[in-house]
Amino acid sequence: MSLPISHKPAVCSHMPVPPQFEGGMSPHELTHKALLSLEHKFSTMKHDDEIKVKAKSHVSLRKYQPQEEEPEQKAQHYKHEPKHEPKTHQHKTDEPSSTVSPTSSTKTSKLASTPSFTDVPTGTKPSRNTPIPPYSGIVDVDKPIIVKAGQTFDGHGMYYRPTKAMGDGSQNEHQQPVFILEPGATLKNVQYSGGDGIHLIGSGTLDNVVNRDIGEDAVTIDGEKNRLHDAKLSGMDVNDIPKGPAKVLIVNSKFYNGDDKVVQDNGDAEVLMKNVYVNGAGKLFRTNGGQPITTKLTVEDSTFENVKESLFRTDSKTSSAHFSNVDDGGMKVVALTPDASQITGTGKISYKPYTG
């Protein structure tokens, strides 16, 4: 943050030209069109695994279909529950500090099967000690940048740096997001920092985003309240948000220097984080404290260093996480859930009740 701050508007000449409206359609018509195509895309994913959605851009694609673990393995993870308790977080957070074991369960999980994703950009698992990548230039941002429904914003490696008007990057909850993605939007090749990070109103893709210095949090999957707020800022009608869980892809992305959360999940979602690197955070993914959120998180081929508390924390019995080929950097606890059956792919499971 040592570079001089200019007072350019959020949309300025250094930024990629925003997409133009097609064929004289109004923004509302265009949004409606994008949502229809998004709905079609997701219904295609659910009902017909053989149909692939057409590839956008140069990114090479492959189909993603994770395997469910056998129930026996789940039971084993539970037996391997760590004896050590995690250290209490040093920074101010909304989390309590006590730790207890999760309740045992022999019931078959009521959680839905692991979601499938198509159009997953390829990449590689990051190595330990990956330095913050260099940026190609700086754009000062003094109001949230909106990516409209179904559109792709390619930042070409520029650093979208929030000014003080957006917040001070602390744990203050009342800061502005640097980016707001409407449903079905993609953000790629972007660096950013501070404020309240990136907000996803609904489904969306983050590909090669780098947070150089996490603010209050780095990514928010909106719940009901955020949706109202963010939709107002973006100018979209909340009634146009597709129903059902948000499908969120976070790939080839890196997050540095956080105090608390990387992803704050305030609504039901199906999330794939793949080829992700974090160095410095309290936790990777937190469903909103005390809320009955139904989210399925999959973390694959990713590397975590200096994450102090956990990779996944929920108070909800209907959220779950699956880890595969993850380097946790030697953490004692990877997941904090009410029931150990909510987690697969790691035995490092514990529970911390939410105390408000």
Applying CB under 6 A, which residues contact ligand ADA? 94, 173, 216-217, 220, 264, 266, 288-289
Minimum CB–partner distance for residue 91 and ligand ADA (Å): 13
Q: Which of 95, 217, 222, 259 binds Ca ion (CB under 5 A)?
A: 217
* Segment interacting with Ca ion (CB under 5 A) among 63-71, 217-225, 247-255, 305-313: 217-225
Q: 288 vs 310, which CB is nearer to ligand ADA?
A: 288
Q: 266 vs 303, which CB is nearer to ligand ADA?
A: 266
Q: Which of 95, 140, 196, 265 binds Ca ion (CB under 5 A)?
A: 196
Residue 266 touches which of ligand ADA, Ca ion, none (CB < 5 to 8 A by kind)? ligand ADA
Minimum CB–partner distance for residue 100 and Ca ion (Å): 23
Span 117-146, contacts to Ca ion by CB under 5 A: none
216 is an interface residue for Ca ion by CB under 5 A: yes
Residue 222 touches which of ligand ADA, Ca ion, none (CB < 5 to 8 A by kind)? none
Residue 289 touches which of ligand ADA, Ca ion, none (CB < 5 to 8 A by kind)? ligand ADA
C-alpha to C-alpha distance for 273 and 261, rounded to whole angstroms: 15
Measured in degrees and rounded to the nearest 5, phi and psi for residue 63 equal -80, 140
Nearest by Cα to 103 from 317, 297, 345, 321: 317
Residue 224 touches which of Ca ion, ligand ADA, none (CB < 5 to 8 A by kind)? none
Minimum CB–partner distance for residue 223 and Ca ion (Å): 11
Q: 158 vs 284, which CB is nearer to ligand ADA?
A: 284
Q: 41 vs 261, which CB is nearer to Ca ion?
A: 261
Residue 288 touches which of Ca ion, ligand ADA, none (CB < 5 to 8 A by kind)? ligand ADA
Q: 196 vs 230, which CB is nearer to Ca ion?
A: 196
Minimum CB–partner distance for residue 165 and Ca ion (Å): 17
Looking from the CA of 80 toward its CB, the CA atoms found within 13 Å total 16
What b/e readout covers 56-75, taking b as 16+ CB neighbours within 10 angstroms? eeebebeebebeebeeeebe
User: Cβ distance 189 to 155 under 8 Å?
Assistant: yes
Where on the chain is the footprint of Ca ion (CB under 5 A)? 196, 216-217
